[in-house]
A and B are shown apart, each in its own frame.
Chain A
Amino acid sequence: AQSVTQPDIHITVSEGASLELRCNYSYGATPYLFWYVQSPGQGLQLLLKYFSGDTLVQGIKGFEAEFKRSQSSFNLRKPSVHWSDAAEYFCAVGATGGFKTIFGAGTRLFVKA
């Protein structure tokens, strides 16, 4: 069965420091992978996606993610975090066939001054 694991429930990072959010997936075929961000009480905003090709994917707001098939990982990174990045981040996998998206439990990012 498809699943997504985000091992960190929450992470605290100083403003200006680098960030890496971990994501591992379980899926038999080539997955469609996504990272979404959600501010409190708000909807889901797509940060970036991976379908195929270059394993390093650039997204919005300065985020990037690297697909590593050998590790079944799709970690999200940002070189310098801003206070406005504080939010909940969800890694997700989409089944080929496009019927549904399976989300990880999310990682809440706190940014300290």
Chain B
Amino acid sequence: AAGVIQSPRHLIKEKRETATLKCYPIPRHDTVYWYQQGPGQDPQFLISFYEKMQSDKGSIPDRFSAQQFSDYHSELNMSSLELGDSALYFCASSLGLGTPNYEQYFGPGTRLTVT
């Protein structure tokens, strides 16, 4: 079965650079979520999109922005990178909101290292 695809899997950037992470949801899934997991931490919700509109927002820095495109893939744009941005970034997708099918399927993550 198709899963959530994230690219790249690994990314190394320097401070103050920008990074773009991509997420391709499971086919027919219309909702995408982004999470950040720092070393030894639990995943923290950043932002989500439903039908290309932002549906919820968590602890996402102002330096980060995201969007969902017409084909439902999503991109997380990160600017002015800081050392503390080094983390594993997960994307998840689900079908619909508040339905019995609500279950987020997680991608393998993108490991971002800021040097």
A interface, CB within 8 angstroms of B: 32, 34, 36, 41-46, 49, 51, 90, 94, 96-106
Contacts and interface: CB of A to CB of B under 8 A. Distances in A.
A102 B74 CA distance: 21
Interface string B89-107: 0101010111110111111
B35 to A, nearest CB: 8
Contacts of B56: 99-100
Interface residues of B, number: 31
A103 B23 CA distance: 21
A51 B100 contact: yes
A106 B42 contact: yes
A46 B94 CA distance: 13
A99 B97 contact: yes
Given A42-B108, A99-B48, A101-B33, A49 B98 contact: no
A98 B97 contact: yes
A32 B102 contact: yes
